[in-house]
């Protein structure tokens, strides 16, 4: 099996993530035109419950598997790797089958009482096959990530996305004559088909790689008892799952408290719901655009740090942390500039409405903390501190909810109070993660690097505004694209003289890196 370096693995996952995000817009545009907003609404009603179930089934298992496989692989313990996989599949698949059985037995109650619309019953039943598919695929993805081979994960994600798009649209169209309820169920079955395709890709690669590996007797002693692996898996997976559940519950409480607080502030319930919908449905997705990179960094960081930690190589751990944090800041900075300066035209272009631009303008500068958060949390999990990450996430969520109640009920703040609360949550959780990682590893970021990034952002801002003020094409999308592109080019050019990026950094990027690798003069 071919390993990639930390940066190469992150770039492979980044490319797949960007492709999948672009492809993901296809059903979002086509499905509403096919089955209407009401049909899409039936599908959306299934999502929250599905997310909770998938969090319980596989929330922390992939990360735990990646961590333990990386540690065992560093010792050439193939017997240990096999045992880890067997235990992880048993745990994850067992939980998924129990959850599937409960969903099948309680489907009528869940559809009518919890989701409050009996028409969602068929779509909910169509969701159940997704649970065991995700249970197995999540373990295999963790296995490949632990082996530091991100290509199977990227291929499976792309296969899943493509098949999900094709079958979601095809099945919804074929079942539409039987009513919206059937069409919505067809859309959910398309998601199950996508998961099945992704699982098949992983299975094929898994079989090929296992055939190339030496037998357990030829590598490693394999004497570690299975019970210890079970304990280690659960010690990592349970806190990570808890952390994700805190996030899900925090999001649920946030939506409830926001609407109620805005109502107390004198805003009508319908208006409060609309404002919160604009924040979560329009503003937050824009801030999360660099998420493909931060996700890829976090996934690649776990096995890399776990392997280094098993050797006691703290120098490599600090180097990897520095690489990931620098990449997160450097790539996130131009998004901060563009979304801060061009909030109104960006919202107008994408949504045909710039009423939420003030919220985007408030939150964009704080988004840099969000981009740094994923690598730091991954570092804590890789270094056997998932409980610390859980506590930090819980503390941030608690402060956010308290601030929403205190600030959003003020008529002078209203929705801005919610924005402030969410921004404080971003900063607090990131800073707590940073302090925890620094105490654990001695990791430090040089202040000069932040000053250099800030200088590049200032120059980029000036260039972007200057091009925008020229008004080459009038107030149009072309003018916005030109100004944004010019600003990004200026920013990218400044990275070299400021020594934020050098030839060695670029040489690690897959495909183009080999053309920039210094040649041996001999």
pLDDT in tens, 166-217: 998 899 899 888 888 888 889 889 989 998 998 998 898 888 877 766 555 5
Q: What is the DSSP letter of 475?
A: S
Average pLDDT value for residue range 327-337: 87
Sign of CA dihedral 130, 133, 136, 140: negative
Q: Tell me how many degrees the CA angle 112-113-118 measures, rounded to the nearest 5.
A: 10
Share the mean pLDDT of the chain: 79
Contacts of 217 by beta carbon, 8 Å cutoff, 6+ apart: 79
Task: Please say whether the beta carbons of 236 and 384 come within 8 A.
Answer: yes
Q: What is the pLDDT of residue 274?
A: 65
DSSP reduced 3-state for 512: coil
What is the pTM (predicted TM-score) of this model? Answer: 0.66
- What is the model's pLDDT at position 13? 59
Whether the per-residue pLDDT at 511 is higher than 60: the answer is no
CA atoms within 13 A of residue 38's CA, in its CB half-sphere: 7
Q: Please, which pLDDT band fits residue 490 given cuts at 50, 70 and 90?
A: very high
Are 417 and 423 contacting, i.e. CB atoms less than 8 angstroms apart?
no
Structure tokens at 254: 């946030």
Kindly list the distances between the CA atom of residue 515 and the CA atoms of 335, 512, 518, in Å, as whole numbers in the listed order. 28, 6, 8
Picking from 413, 335, 321, the residue whose alpha carbon sits closest to that of residue 370 is: 335
The answer to whether the beta carbons of residues 236 and 88 sit under 8 Å apart is no
The rounded percent of the chain whose pLDDT value lies above 90 is 14
Residue pLDDT, tens place only, 72-94: 877 777 888 888 888 888 888 99
- In the predicted model, is pLDDT for residue 48 greater than 80? no
Q: How confident is the model at residue 18 (pLDDT cuts 50, 70, 90)?
A: low
Per-residue confidence (pLDDT) for residue 454, from 0 to 100:
92
Task: Check pLDDT > 50 for residue 220.
Answer: no
Question: Residue 436: its pLDDT value, please?
Answer: 92
Tens digits of residue pLDDT in 259-269: 778 888 887 76
Q: 330 with 495: CB under 8 angstroms?
A: yes
Q: What are 79-134's pLDDT values in tens digits?
A: 888 888 888 888 889 989 999 999 899 888 877 776 656 777 888 899 899 999 99
| Dihedral (CA of 262, 265, 267, 270) sign | positive
Residue 477 has pLDDT above 90, yes or no: no
Please count the other Cβ atoms lying within 10 Å of the Cβ belonging to residue 125. 18
The pLDDT value recorded for residue 6 is: 52
DSSP at 509: S
Please report how many Cα atoms fall inside a 13 Å half-sphere around the Cα of residue 233, on the Cβ side: 29
Highest mean pLDDT among 306-320, 328-342, 489-503: 328-342
pLDDT of 446 strictly over 70: yes
Category of 179 on φ-ψ map: left (φ > 0), alpha (ψ -120 to 50) or beta: left
pLDDT at 3: 57
Rounded CA separation 127/425 (Å): 33
CA atoms of 77 and 146, how far apart (whole Å): 13
The C-alpha atoms of residue 24 and residue 42 are separated, in whole angstroms, by 19
Residue tagged 């059937």 (tokens): 182
What per-residue confidence (pLDDT) applies to 200? 92
Asked whether the predicted pLDDT for residue 227 surpasses 70, the reply is no
For tokens 């961590």, the residue is: 67
Sort residue 443 into left (φ over 0), alpha (ψ -120 to 50) or beta.
beta
Between residues 280 and 239, the one the model is more confident about: 239
Please state, in angstroms and rounded to a whole number, the distance separating the CA atoms of residues 500 and 508. Answer: 15
Which pLDDT band, with edges at 50, 70 and 90, does 456 fall under?
Answer: very high
């Amino acid at each position: 099996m071919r390993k990639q370096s930390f940066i190469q693995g992150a770039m492979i996952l980044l490319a797949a993530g960007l492709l999948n995000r672009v492809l993901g817009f296809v059903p979002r545009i086509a499905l509403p035109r096919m089955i209407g907003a009401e049909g899409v609404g039936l599908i959306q009603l299934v999502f929250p419950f599905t997310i909770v179930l998938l969090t319980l089934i596989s929330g922390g298992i992939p990360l735990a598997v990646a961590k333990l496989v990386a540690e065992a692989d560093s010792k050439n313990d193939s017997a240990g790797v096999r045992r880890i996989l067997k235990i992880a599949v048993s745990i994850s698949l067992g939980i998924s089958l129990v959850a599937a059985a409960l969903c099948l037995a309680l489907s009528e109650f869940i559809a009518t009482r919890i989701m409050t619309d009996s028409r969602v019953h068929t779509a909910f039943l169509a969701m159940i096959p997704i649970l065991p598919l995700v249970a197995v695929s999540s373990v295999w993805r963790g296995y490949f990530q632990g082996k530091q081979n991100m290509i199977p994960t990227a291929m499976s994600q792309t296969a899943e996305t493509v098949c999900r798009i094709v079958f979601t649209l095809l099945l919804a169209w074929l079942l539409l004559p039987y009513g919206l309820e059937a069409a919505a169920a067809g859309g959910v079955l398309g998601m199950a088909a996508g998961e099945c395709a992704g699982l098949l890709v992983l299975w094929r690669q898994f079989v090929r790689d296992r055939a190339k590996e030496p037998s357990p007797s030829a590598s490693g002693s394999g004497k570690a008892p299975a019970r210890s692996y079970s304990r280690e898996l659960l010690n990592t997976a349970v806190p990570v799952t808890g952390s994700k559940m805190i996030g899900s519950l925090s999001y649920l409480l946030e939506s409830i408290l926001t609407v109620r607080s805005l109502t107390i502030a004198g805003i009508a319930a319908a208006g409060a719901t609309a404002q919160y919908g604009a924040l979560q449905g329009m503003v937050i997705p824009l801030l999360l655009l660099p998420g493909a990179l931060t996700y890829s960094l976090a996934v690649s960081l776990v096995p890399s740090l776990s392997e280094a930690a098993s050797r006691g190589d703290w120098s490599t751990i600090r180097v990897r942390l520095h690489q990931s944090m620098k990449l997160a800041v450097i790539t996130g900075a131009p998004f901060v500039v563009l979304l801060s300066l061009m909030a109104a035209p960006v919202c107008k272009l994408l949504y045909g409405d710039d009423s939420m631009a003030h919220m985007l303008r408030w939150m964009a500068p704080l988004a840099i903390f969000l981009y740094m958060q994923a690598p730091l949390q991954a570092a804590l999990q890789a270094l056997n501190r998932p409980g610390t990450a859980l506590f930090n996430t819980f503390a941030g969520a608690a402060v956010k909810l308290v601030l929403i109640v205190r600030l959003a009920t003020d008529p002078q703040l209203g929705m801005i109070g919610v924005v402030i609360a969410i921004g404080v949550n971003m900063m607090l959780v990131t800073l707590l993660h940073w302090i925890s990682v620094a105490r654990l590893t001695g990791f430090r970021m040089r202040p000069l690097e932040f000053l250099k990034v800030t200088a590049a952002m200032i120059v980029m801002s000036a260039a972007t505004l200057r091009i925008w003020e020229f008004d080459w094409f009038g107030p149009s999308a072309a003018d916005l694209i030109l100004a944004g592109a010019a600003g990004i080019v200026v920013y990218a050019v400044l990275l070299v003289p400021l020594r934020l990026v050098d030839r060695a950094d670029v040489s690690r990027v897959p495909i183009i890196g080999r053309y920039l690798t210094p040649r041996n003069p001999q």
